[in-house]
Amino acid sequence: MGQLFHSVLLIEEKCRGCTRCIKNCPTEAIRVRAGKARINAERCTDCGECIRICDNHAKTAITDSLSRLKEFEHTIALPAPALYSQFGREVDRRRVLAALMDMGFDDVFEVAYGADIATFLTTEYLKKQGAKAPMISAACPAVVRLIQVRFPALIDYLIPVDSPMACSGKLAKEMKAAELRIPKENIGAFFITPCPAKVTWVREANKLGSFPVDGAISISDVYGEIVKRLPEISPSHPELKASPVGVGWGRSGGERIAAGISKSLVVDGIHNVIDVLEQLEMGKLQDIEFVEAQACTGGCVGGALTVINPFIGRMNLEALVDKSETRPKLRDELTEDLNLEERLGEFTIKPDIVAVPAFRLDQDVSRAITKAEMIEKVVSELPGLDCGSCGSPNCRALAEDIVQGLAVDTDCILKLREEIEILAEQLLEMAKKSPPALKEDSKEDSAFSKPGE
């Protein structure tokens, strides 16, 4: 298997080794070694928490740039619903779309419409799949990756329908290729993304086969250009296809409202998501049918690649949902024009979601058990302060690093102090000693008589 691409990376020169990020990483993927943060690629979910938390701006996300547009004969921007939330309560969606076209895209296709499609696919899937519950939305790639890495037992509970991003890319390319009579491969579809996890998803999916989205450009990279154009631009883009509930997918709770499932649970913020997934893993919450889980606080409006405060973004998006025109004939359009009922298999999530055993202690089960026991012993000998000064996020993580040969117990500063104290006492004892040649006579020396005795 090739090296996993990660959009989140460290800018080493900026890292001061402060250890702030190691405590906030939900998968304990970061260690500080030799004064710099290091990310364990297998464990990282690209959630973006470390980008948010680092005051030194030492973490960043790799995204695509607009220069990639020239690789294609025709280009389509796929703006995430969260993009609209960045420009106030009164923004006209058509102006935002027109601004994107003015920046160089030949076309735009709202991902909010892809969300309408994903809603349809989700409800159809839940109707058909029977009693297995609770089912978890797979729309947030950071949550999907978290489940792969930390909660593999829950993989079977993920709803295997394409994300709004993938649905939009697929349809946008299909329609344009038919209209322009050009191969789909000549059309470049670029997601305007609120988060690094989606950049990773796009890159990885493209690596493993053809994916209907060719790249991901961050909201923060297009924000300034859109702001500049909004006052003057003519809202030329003809038709807004997405429904208000499709637009509402950009904030947490939007998916639940769209799907209209009453026994559902909405959770946002990666650490809250972990709490809920732990409960699901323990077999709790069985009376829930549907779980909407998003890694970012507030949902996609809180993504690490957005610009404005997530709570203000949420307020803006809600105002936009309220004033968006309803689409009374949407279901007919999806079933009759797009024939989605017959095409469910085409919108199954790809690549397959498989477990990533990043927390496995050893491939050999008996060695793994031995290591688990050793970890418990080491933990019991550590001070339990979880201070992070050792460069591991907490004492248990340090114990694991010690057992795996990645750290030593004196990386703990209190352990180091104990060792120094012992050494200091030994030195003191040694300092009191003199070689026999310099010492006063003692009984042991009586075998040797002094001269003249």
Q: Given the rule CB under 6 A, which of 9-17, 94-102, 206-214, 392-400 is the region that contacts ligand SF4?
A: 9-17
Site residues for ligand SF4, window 306-335 (CB under 6 A)?
A: none
Instruction: Considering the complex, state which of residue 46 and residue 292 has its C-beta at the smaller distance from ligand SF4.
Output: 46
Cα gap 194→82, rounded to integer Å: 7
Nearest-approach distance from CB 47 to ligand SF4, in angstroms: 4
Count of residues binding ligand SF4 (CB under 6 A)? Answer: 28
Nearest-approach distance from CB 405 to ligand SF4, in angstroms: 22
* One-character DSSP codes across 228-255: HHTTT-----------HHHHHTTSTTHH
Q: What are the distances in angstroms from CA 216 to CA 55, 73, 213?
A: 25, 18, 8
For 11, residues 6+ apart whose C-beta sits below 8 A from its C-beta are 57, 58, 59, 60
Which tokens go with 453?
Answer: 């005795």
| 277 interacts with ligand SF4 by CB under 6 A | no
Instruction: Considering the complex, state which of residue 71 and residue 275 has its C-beta at the smaller distance from ligand SF4.
Output: 275
Residues 344-373: b if buried by 16+ CB within 10 A, e if exposed: eeebebeeebeebebeebeeeeeeeeebee
Nearest-approach distance from CB 409 to ligand SF4, in angstroms: 22
Which tokens go with 210?
Answer: 């053809």
Cα gap 110→330, rounded to integer Å: 15
- Report CA Rg, the chain: 29
| Chosen residue from 4, 9, 18, 175 binding ligand SF4 by CB under 6 A | 18
Site residues for ligand SF4, window 21-60 (CB under 6 A)?
A: 21, 25-27, 29-30, 32, 37, 39, 44-50, 54, 56, 58-59
Q: Given the rule CB under 6 A, which of 16-24, 77-85, 181-189, 278-286 is the region that contacts ligand SF4?
A: 16-24
Residues 76/215, Cβ–Cβ less than 8 Å: no
Instruction: Considering the complex, state which of residue 19 and residue 137 has its C-beta at the smaller distance from ligand SF4.
Output: 19
Nearest-approach distance from CB 274 to ligand SF4, in angstroms: 11
Cα gap 254→81, rounded to integer Å: 11
Instruction: Considering the complex, state which of residue 30 and residue 187 has its C-beta at the smaller distance from ligand SF4.
Output: 30
Cα gap 259→248, rounded to integer Å: 11
Nearest-approach distance from CB 144 to ligand SF4, in angstroms: 13
Instruction: Considering the complex, state which of residue 63 and residue 75 has its C-beta at the smaller distance from ligand SF4.
Output: 63
Q: Which residues of this protein are in contact with ligand SF4, per CB under 6 A?
A: 8, 10, 15-21, 25-27, 29-30, 32, 37, 39, 44-50, 54, 56, 58-59
